Amino acid sequence: MLNLRLHLAIPAVLALAFTALQAQQPASDAPKEDYVRAHYTKYEFRIPMRDGKRLFTAVYVPKDAAHGPYPFLMDRTPYSVAPYGEDEYPKQLGPSDEFEKSGYIFVYQDVRGRWMSEGDFVEMRPHIDDKKSPQDVDDASDTYDTIEFLLKNVPNNNGKVGIWGISYPGFYTSASIIDSHPALVAASPQAPMTDLFLGDDGYHGGAFMLSANFGFYAPFFHPQKNPVGPKPRVPFEFGTPDSYKFYLSAGNIANLDSLYLKGSNWLFDDQFKHDTYDAYWQPRDLSRHMKNVRCAVLVVGGWYDAEDLMGPYRTFYAINKFNPTTTTTLVEGPWVHGGWARSDGNHLGDVQFNSKTGEYFRANIQFPFFEHYLKGKGAAQPKAVVFETGTNVWRSFDTWPPKAAKAKTLYFHADGKLSFDPPAETTGMDQYVSDPNHPVPFVGYTTDTVPQRYMVDDQRFASYRPDVLVYETDPLQEDVTIAGPISPKLKVASSGTDSDFDVKLIDVYPDNYSAPEDTTHGNKRILDAPPLHMGGYQQLLRGEPFRAKFRNSWERPEPLVPGKETEIDFQMPDLFHTFRRGHRIMVQVQSSWFPLTDRNPQTFTDIPYAKPDQFQKATEQVFRQKNAASGVEVLVMPQP
């Protein structure tokens, strides 16, 4: 590996040799890295930051100097920029193949304290609004200093920088655009971790996302001593293919640490021990710092992202709030976490979208965005580009949610009925017994992970349980399209001093369903028809938990008063979906969703350390009467 000094000399003569191998095209069956090697020259830098720490950075420069100058396209990551070594090349560069062929100077950086970069790693390092000295560093300043170095030391650049990243790299992308460098002109935070307590990876509605978090930190994401090179990841042995059984047997969350991690992973400790919105989480809410964003921003998310579903919305809304003149676009498609980057996106589980949405995004949205702002080609994107599920079409809007969408409430009624009509009864209530020792599973099959398809899975397995309330409309006489956030508004009472209320919005297919209707409202499709087992399918569209002790404050939880009516109002992430004519709309309400979320003992206690005798049954009541109506508010689009 060459040192920094030698690297500073090499770029001065790069222009003389950029075209050496341009004429050599790799054979069609050649390894993918051969194409990268043939067309790009790799350099490795240890770029000094303002506090003296050096960040390891791999730079891939096009060999074809004649078609330059080129813009930079950067990705900052905690997951390693391997392969290391100037003669080691990755299989691909950039967000998709289009970028490799178009020509960019690709920049990959190990963030502070990870892998080959110096400094201390801090989980979602808080942004410092007022930096008073060179020691006040954050990911905005690290990006700023990196850009300064690149502009001065990598020749044949056009003075423009773009940045993108998915998930944790999405967080670093968002952090990088705060007080952005003048040369940073385009950024795409994709599924960005934004506030881990308020709706992203850590907690949803105050409930700990148990299986996903332990499954991430135990085998995968560990603290490091730096500098450190790549080392193999050791899979965690659950000892059973059934995560429901594993987590139930473990008892409380603290037992997972004491029995399996044994205090070795402070990252996991921080996640579960900070179980209120305290001084650990609040500074890490990046959305409150999204100021002085001077570059165009393309925020990307998936309707079915099981990890960072809320992050894109928080980021998009915050940029618009603090930077009203900044060009910002929201893109949402029918994707799992990062699915837009690596799949064709034509289906998820049993649900078909009849469109290669991932390919469409990469070629028609993402690539043109960077080409426009970094190379001056093409046109800008509209405010919102979103895929409408149900009808399976892309649509564009000048605002999100669309201005035409109007709030309407789906009310609960007797006999499991659901409608937009408010209840007229003066008394009415449904109830069930929730037992935390026999919690409702989140899927109807055995798994040792959080399968990405769970977010559209058939919910019939849950609808048959006595501890799940089910409300359903009559078959729809016309299409119903919802666009925007979904807001459960419940009037409840519990015999416990704490409880979860998990609400699921579901699309129920007709029993005779065999093929989707054409999006032009014409004849039914014959090609790509889903199997007949989709008849009666209860497709999950959106589901979220809410822990009742947080009903008045995320910072200061309060116990329920047993038997006393209380309001549970919360907001679930946005959706754009059409319930087709002949389908039904369903809402399910339950008080456990295991092991997707941790178990609520249903006693007001320190949940991560709850003792076995504190996990108690509770009778949950949901009211559906005139002066105590429960339902789910949605934004409904007018039908053409």
Q: Does residue 347 surpass a pLDDT of 90? A: yes
Single-letter amino acid, residue 125: R
pLDDT in tens, 229-277: 555 567 788 899 999 999 999 999 999 999 998 888 888 999 999 999 9
Structure tokens at 485: 């956030």
Q: Does residue 307 surpass a pLDDT of 70? A: yes
Instruction: Write down the pLDDT at residue 458.
Output: 97
Cβ-in-10-Å burial (0-12, 13-18, 19+) of 94 comes to buried
Q: Does residue 531 surpass a pLDDT of 70? A: no
Mean pLDDT of 499-518: 85
Adjacent-strand bridge partners of 588 = 470, 504
Residue 142 CB contacts under 8 Å (≥ 6 apart), including other chains:
49, 55, 76, 111, 112
For residue 514, name the pLDDT band (cuts at 50, 70, 90): confident
Rounded to the nearest integer, the mean pLDDT of the chain is 91
Residue 324 CB contacts under 8 Å (≥ 6 apart), including other chains:
none
For residue 18, name the pLDDT band (cuts at 50, 70, 90): very low
- The CATH 3.40.50.1820 portion of the chain extends over 4-195+285-397
Instruction: Write down the pLDDT at residue 22.
Output: 31
- The CATH 2.60.120.260 portion of the chain extends over 406-637
Spatial separation of the C-alpha atoms in residues 556 and 430, rounded to whole Å: 29
For residue 128, name the pLDDT band (cuts at 50, 70, 90): very high
Question: Left (φ > 0), alpha (ψ -120 to 50) or beta: where does 517 sit?
Answer: beta
Structure tokens at 46: 């240890």
Spatial separation of the C-alpha atoms in residues 4 and 415, rounded to whole Å: 73
pLDDT in tens, 429-467: 999 999 999 999 999 999 999 999 999 999 999 999 999
Single-letter amino acid, residue 565: E
Mean pLDDT of 397-405: 97
Structure tokens at 184: 């940073």
Spatial separation of the C-alpha atoms in residues 597 and 500, rounded to whole Å: 10
Spatial separation of the C-alpha atoms in residues 487 and 302, rounded to whole Å: 19
Domain at 203-282, CATH from 3.40.720, 1.10.3020, 3.30.750, 3.40.1340: 1.10.3020
Residue 334's nearest CA partner among 363, 362, 356, 311 is 356
Cβ-in-10-Å burial (0-12, 13-18, 19+) of 233 comes to exposed
Single-letter amino acid, residue 580: R
Task: Determine contact, residues 190/330, Cβ cutoff 8 Å.
Answer: no
For 406-637, CATH gives 2.60.120.260
Helix (H, G, I), strand (E, B) or coil at 217: helix
pLDDT in tens, 311-337: 999 999 999 999 999 999 999 999 999
Single-letter amino acid, residue 442: F
CA 169 to chain centre: 12
CA 558, 465, 255, 617 dihedral sign is positive
Task: Determine contact, residues 160/185, Cβ cutoff 8 Å.
Answer: yes
Structure tokens at 528: 């790509």
Strands (DSSP E) found in 497-571: 502-508, 538-544, 566-569
For residue 221, name the pLDDT band (cuts at 50, 70, 90): confident
**469-472 vs 584-590, strand pairing mode:** antiparallel
Reported pTM: 0.91
Q: Report DSSP state, residue 281.
A: T
pLDDT in tens, 278-292: 999 999 999 999 999
Between 15 and 534, the more confident residue is 534
For 4-195+285-397, CATH gives 3.40.50.1820
Q: What are phi and psi of 296, to 5 degrees?
A: -70, 140
Spatial separation of the C-alpha atoms in residues 375 and 368, rounded to whole Å: 10
Residue 469's nearest CA partner among 497, 446, 444, 503 is 503
Q: Does residue 28 surpass a pLDDT of 90? A: no
Spatial separation of the C-alpha atoms in residues 583 and 577, rounded to whole Å: 12
Cβ-in-10-Å burial (0-12, 13-18, 19+) of 578 comes to buried
Ordered alpha helix ranges (H), 218-295: 243-250, 253-256, 266-273
Task: Determine contact, residues 576/303, Cβ cutoff 8 Å.
Answer: yes
pLDDT in tens, 377-389: 988 889 999 999 9
For residue 226, name the pLDDT band (cuts at 50, 70, 90): low
Task: Kindly report the three-state secondary structure assignment for every residue of 282-345.
Answer: HHHCHHHHCCCCCCEEEEEEECCCCCCCCHHHHHHHHHHHHCCCCCEEEEEECCCCCHHHHCCC
Spatial separation of the C-alpha atoms in residues 144 and 51, rounded to whole Å: 13
Spatial separation of the C-alpha atoms in residues 464 and 353, rounded to whole Å: 28
